[in-house]
Amino acid sequence: MTINKIPHQMTGVILTGHGGLEKLQLRTDLPVPTPGKGEVLIKVGASGVNNTDINTRIGWYSKGVTGQTNAGAADGFETANDDDASWSGIPLGLPRIQGADCCGEIVAVGEQVNPDRIGQRVLVRSMQSVPTEDEFSCITFGSECDGSFAQYTKTRAIEAFTIQSSLSDAELASFPCAYSTAENMIDRAAVKANETVLITGASGGVGSAAIQLAKRRQANVIAICGAEKMEQVKALGADKVIQRGQSLTDILANDSVDVVIDLVAGDQWAELLDLLRRGGRYAVAGAIAGPIVELDVRTLYLKDLSFFGCTYQPRSVFENLIQYIERGEIKPLIAKTYPLQQISEAQQDFMAKKFIGKLVLLPPR
């Protein structure tokens, strides 16, 4: 292992249990991780705030919870069960340093990693493979392992992707989790040029990424968001913007949409299926308005629909994303940056959904 002026202790934020914001604890005495065989140590430049960090904290993934994410976002859910409250259904190891997005610099390498990697600027893949298990096994950086809400973090070397870019750390840290989630959905649904793609939750991190990534494929994008964000969502490239809460089938013709990219679910879910044409595709990676929906199985089969649940991400998705960034095909969208110490304020702002674009945390240098 090669070490290069690395301190023994660092500042970071640990999650001490499922619950409210009080479960996040700022510490200045956390041990700096030691990269093991095949691993690299990264000095974190910036890390984004994501739904998945909050969902995990509040225990929303527990099957005991059936409400909207926001209902418990500040205080947690009483009905959450600690045993299945992680997204993978496996109890989380606690305490845990969360943080799914990471831009930083490799400052040390473990055994069997080329020391030439020291000094490389990298983006860490948020949804990482588990090499010893079956094809779909994966872990989220900052969930099943410690993530980037700290000055240093470690990861397997193959999950740290070098990037050549003139963007800032904060800008680069805005991409990994949200954009790879969105690109994976678009890829699973095989969005093609000239297709009509409807995106729910379009002002959120994944939704706004999906607008850019669908436009990148020359699709025709219809975006749904709150009234106060319609202008900004339009500016992101959406061809048509619909105000959240309006009856979609009043505005759009049945059978007029090729692909739905859904992060919302909730009461309006059945309308999404009415909008899809025969043979249409529905991709989902979130359910912020509530996960329990009523499905008429006849709609699924008589319209030859395909539904794609999107969590696992093949490596190619992140490889492609790096290329899109390096070629300037997608733009970062930063709403605000905060010192890491202000994580509670950042998460409260995130939950209040006043911003379009990412909120990014900057650890002390």
Say which residue the tokens 């099957």 belong to: 63
- Minimum separation from the CB atom of position 274 to its own copies (A): 10
Question: How far is residue 327's CA from residue 213's CA, in Å, rounded to a whole number?
Answer: 13
**Residue 7 CB coordination number (10 Å):** 9
Give the long-range contacts of residues 250-259, CB within 8 A, separation 24 or more.
Answer: 252/198, 252/222, 255/280, 255/303, 256/196, 257/196, 257/197, 257/198, 257/222, 258/191, 258/195, 258/196, 258/197, 259/186, 259/189, 259/191, 259/195, 259/196, 259/197, 259/198, 259/219, 259/283
State the minimum distance, in angstroms, from the CB of residue 34 to its own copies: 31
CB nearer its own copies, residue 3 or residue 292: 292
Q: 180 CB contacts (<8 Å, ≥6 apart)?
A: 125, 126, 127, 313, 317, 318, 321
What is the binding site for its own copies (CB under 8 A)?
Answer: 61, 63, 66, 87-89, 134-137, 262, 265, 269, 277-279, 284-287, 291-312
Per DSSP bridges, beta strands 9-15 and 306-309 are unpaired
Residue (38 or 266) nearer to its own copies, CB: 266
Q: What minimum distance in Å lies between the beta carbon of 188 and its own copies?
A: 8
According to DSSP, the β-strands at 39-48 and 103-109 are antiparallel
Any idea what DSSP says for residue 84?
G
Residue nearer to its own copies on the CB measure, 157 or 264: 264
Nearest distance in Å: CB 306, its own copies: 6
Q: How far is the CB of 204 from its own copies (least distance, A)?
A: 15
> CB 347 → its own copies: shortest distance, Å?
21
